[in-house]
Amino acid sequence: MQKIKRIAAYQIDLPLHEGSYNWSGGKSVQVFDSTIVSIETDDGFIGYGECCPLGPFYLPAYAEGVRSGLKELGPYLLGLSATDHSQLNMVMDRCLKGHPHVKSPIDMASWDIKGQTANMSVGQLLGGTYGDDFVLYRAISQTEPEAMAENVKKHRKEGYRRFQLKVGGDPDVDIERIRLVSEQLSPGDKLIADANTGWTMHEALRVIKAVGDIDVYIEQPCDSYNECLSIRQRTIHPFILDECINGIGILIRGYTDKAMDVVNIKISKFGGITKAALARDLCTQLGIAMTIEDSWGGDITTSAIAHLAHSTQPDLLFTATDFNSYVTVRTADGAPQRNDGRMKASIDPGLGIKPLMDVLGEPVIDIH
């Protein structure tokens, strides 16, 4: 039955190649604090998951909160089937209200175990993969407009053709950012102006009007769903929702209101692969394009993203993320690597990764 007998957690710092990651409102992170979770079964299988919030000022999630939540939740999960995702999520939701980021690495690790026991990759368990690989985007950290344009130029040489431009600051500067970056693009490239909730409604309208001649997607311009819907109804640009989409209910409302053309599905925001896959499948039925990603992470998070993205219908997969190429620390062998702006999921059982235990060190939480 693969009963859970031990849950452990490891804390890992993930510095960035570029030194810092900056977005709206002056928010910035230099070193990401990630939690890697292992689940061990009574038959000796071990699965791994990861949760890495984008600092405490992005979503209602923070790194120490992941570990505090695991201490609270973990004892209730001992003895449960590690491969019965329905029961596992039901118990997690009963024993800890909310806090999906705490549950995400547990659910992710359970999928890793299920794949190992079935001798199938997570991508195969999720319905099978499409084609040889899938398309990635590159997030362009917020800085001066000229520097952002140079970064896009550099990453185009690495094969990226989709760029998520971090805006959400001074509208005049953001207009310049969008214009200068758009000049670096070629036909077929895609540009996303991601405000990360940073504009007020009047600022969002100013920017949208000023870039009306540019082929650009507008992503989460304002904080609330209603504010974003108001902007959506007054723009001709394709529209993406992210931060305000945190469950199936608001996803259905967004579809009903015609609030977005693309939606971002972050694994930890939904609470793990199980619920993120449910959202993915609903979007597939409704014809909503998707970006498959997470808040942040390293090799294990990137592996989970790859399996969910590679098993998503290609015409509805807008793009996905390769977080392990942003950070300087490797935490697992076998994780997918970008190749010319694209990536493919492992075909090995489970997530297809082998954690580097010398990097993980001793667990900071050990529940058994």
| Residues with a known catalytic role | 166, 266
Where do the DSSP E strands lie in 80-168?
134-135, 138-140, 162-166
**164 vs 350: CA distance, rounded Å:** 30
φ/ψ region of 243 (left if φ > 0, alpha if ψ in -120 to 50, else beta) reads alpha
Please identify which residue in the block is written with the tokens 């076998």.
334
Q: How far is CA 176 from CA 7, 24, 255, in A?
A: 49, 15, 32
**348 vs 307: CA distance, rounded Å:** 11
Q: Which residues pair with 218 in a beta bridge?
A: 193, 239
**Cβ proximity of 153 and 186 under 8 Å:** no
The rounded Cα 270 to chain-centroid distance in angstroms is 10
> Helix, strand or coil for residue 94?
helix
Q: How far is CA 223 from CA 141, 200, 296, in A?
A: 19, 8, 20
**283 vs 285: CA distance, rounded Å:** 5
Please identify which residue in the block is written with the tokens 């935490």.
331
H/E element holding 205?
A: helix 201-210
Cα–Cα nearest to 269, from 60, 108, 37, 47: 60
> Helix, strand or coil for residue 86?
helix
Number of helices (H) and strands (E) in the chain: give both, helices first: 13, 18
